[in-house]
Structure 1
Amino acid sequence: MSASEWKKRCEDEWGLAGTAMPDSLDWKSAYEAKPFGRNLLKNPAPHGLSKDTPPPEPEIPDAPVRGPPRFQPEGDFSGWATNIEVLPYDTSGIPEGVVICALPEYSWFSLEQTVDLKAEGLWEELLDDFQPEIVIQDWYEESQLHQSIYQLHVKLLGADKSSVIAEHSVNPPEDISTYSHTWKEVSHVFSGYGPGVRYIHFLHRLKNQFLMGFYPTMFTGSSVMVKPNKTSSN
């Protein structure tokens, strides 16, 4: 196929008639990159779990775990930059003089990725003028370890990777009064965000607990997808 034929194929299959389609772009490579409708995050399920199957019930050890406390869950976290933040003990609500044998120790386990939109096959005219929808989705385990066990921060960044053009954050509260152990969905759609977006920074934090054993909050199905459509807000 000629360059113009590849360009026409992209325009037709992606439904982008009337959108700027620069001749300077390698449309064969753009087509093969499949920039639309696929997950742009690497390794979206490091624990090897699926949202279509209930999360495994936590294993309660028969005896206290010996040795130093553990703060990172098991998994293959390749593709993610990770960080652990150990939180101070919470002694609020404990009457003075009460002997404490053990307190739960909490930590945040953070994972983040940055998506290069141009490297994934998108082009400047599309991002600046058409501004396709950017769809964020994530699933986290309702571990009920604490009232706050999950946080999500997503930023649309400019070419310098520091200027924030749009962002979305969520810190959902948990109902721990009744036991429920399922996957909970978090999602957001960016549209009408303005010109200049070149990168997407995806970061989520999950809370873990150590008390006689290690109890993590797991996640699965993290995704960042670009869709070749826009809303009236554009």
Structure 2
Amino acid sequence: MSAAEWKKRCEAEWGLQDAPMPDSLDWKSVYEAKPLGRNLLRNPAPHGLSKDTPPPEPELSEVPTRGPPRFQPDGDFSGWTTSTEVLPYDSSSIPAGAVVCELPQYSWFSMEQTVDLKAEGLWEELLDDFQPEIVIQDWYEESQLHESIYQLHVKLLGADKITVISEHTVHPTEDLSTYSHTWKEVSYVFSGYGPGVRYVHFLHRLKNNFTVEFFPTLFTGSSVIVKPTKTSS
């Protein structure tokens, strides 16, 4: 097809009739990159789990194995930058005079990655003038290890990867009174964010527990999707 035909194909399939579509772009490459409507995060389910299947129930060993403390879950975290923050022991809830054999020790396991929107096939005129919706979604296990087990912080960054143009933070509190152990959805839509966005920085943290055995909080289905939808300014 000709360059003009590739451009018309992009316009028709993504519904971009009102979006700026400069002739200088290689529309065949843009079409093949499919930057709109697909998940731009790499490796969105490192634990190999799906939100359509209930998270696995934690398994207790018949004879707990004693060894060095463990603070990082198993998984293939390629595509993510990971880090671990071991938290100090919390003895505030222990009654005076009580004998304690084991205290739980918690850790935050952080995973982050940065999406280069232009490298994924989006173009400056679309991001600056049309400002398509940028949809964030994540699913975490209601592990009930603690009242605070999940945090999310997403930032829309400028070309220097430093300037924050818009951001969204989630830090829910869990209800420990009822055991449900399901996947919990977290989502947000960036709209009307203004010109200059070139990167999306996605960071979430999940809490783990180590007493005699290790119990993680799992996640799946993380996504950053740019929708071919005009935002309100």
TM-score scaled by structure 2? 0.98
Query: Which residue number in structure 2 is paired with residue 85 of structure 1?
Result: 85
Query: Which residue number in structure 2 is paired with residue 178 of structure 1?
Result: 178
Query: Which residue number in structure 1 is paired with residue 167 of structure 2?
Result: 167
Structure 1: how far apart are the matches of 2:93 and 2:189?
40
Structure 1: how far apart are the matches of 2:215 and 2:19?
50
SS at 2:146's partner residue? coil
Structure 2 residue 26 is the aligned partner of structure 1 residue 22: no
C-alpha displacement at 1:15, in angstroms?
A: 1.1
C-alpha displacement at 1:95, in angstroms?
A: 3.1
Q: Deviations over 1:41-72 (max 9, x none)?
A: 00000000000000000011222321101111
C-alpha displacement at 1:23, in angstroms?
A: 1.4
Unaligned runs of 5+ in 1: none
SS at 2:230's partner residue? coil
Query: Which residue number in structure 2 is paired with residue 198 of structure 1?
Result: 198
SS at 2:61's partner residue? coil
User: How many residue pairs align between the two structures?
Assistant: 233
Query: Which residue number in structure 1 is paired with residue 129 of structure 2?
Result: 129
Structure 2: how far apart are the matches of 1:213 and 1:109?
17
Q: Deviations over 1:182-216 (max 9, x none)?
A: 00000000000000000000000000000110000
Query: Which residue number in structure 2 is paired with residue 56 of structure 1?
Result: 56
Moved more, 9-18 or 103-112: 9-18
Query: Is the 1:63–1:212 Cα contact (8 Å) retained in structure 2?
Result: no
C-alpha displacement at 1:3, in angstroms?
A: 1.1
Structure 1: how far apart are the matches of 2:67 and 2:175?
32
Query: Is the 1:151–1:205 Cα contact (8 Å) retained in structure 2?
Result: yes
Query: Which residue number in structure 2 is paired with residue 149 of structure 1?
Result: 149
Structure 2: how far apart are the matches of 1:29 and 1:5?
13
Q: Deviations over 1:84-118 (max 9, x none)?
A: 00000001022344322110000000000100000
Describe how 1:30-69 pairs up with structure 2 within 5 A.
30-69=30-69
Describe how 1:3-14 pairs up with structure 2 within 5 A.
3-14=3-14
Moved more, 78-87 or 4-13: 4-13
Unaligned runs of 5+ in 2: none
Q: Deviations over 1:104-154 (max 9, x none)?
A: 000000000100000111000000000000000000000000000000000
SS at 2:17's partner residue? coil
Query: Is the 1:47–1:219 Cα contact (8 Å) retained in structure 2?
Result: yes
Alignment root-mean-square deviation, CA: 0.9
Moved more, 15-24 or 81-90: 15-24
C-alpha displacement at 1:175, in angstroms?
A: 0.5
Structure 2: how far apart are the matches of 1:134 and 1:109?
25
Query: Which residue number in structure 1 is paired with residue 110 of structure 2?
Result: 110
Moved more, 57-66 or 178-187: 57-66
Query: Which residue number in structure 1 is paired with residue 140 of structure 2?
Result: 140
Structure 2: how far apart are the matches of 1:222 and 1:15?
25
Q: What amino acid is aligned across from residue 10 of structure 1 in structure 2? A: C
Moved more, 111-120 or 17-26: 17-26
Moved more, 150-159 or 95-104: 95-104
SS at 2:229's partner residue? coil
TM-score scaled by structure 1? 0.97
Which of structure 1's runs of 4+ aligned residues deviate more than 2 A?
95-99
Query: Which residue number in structure 1 is paired with residue 212 of structure 2?
Result: 212
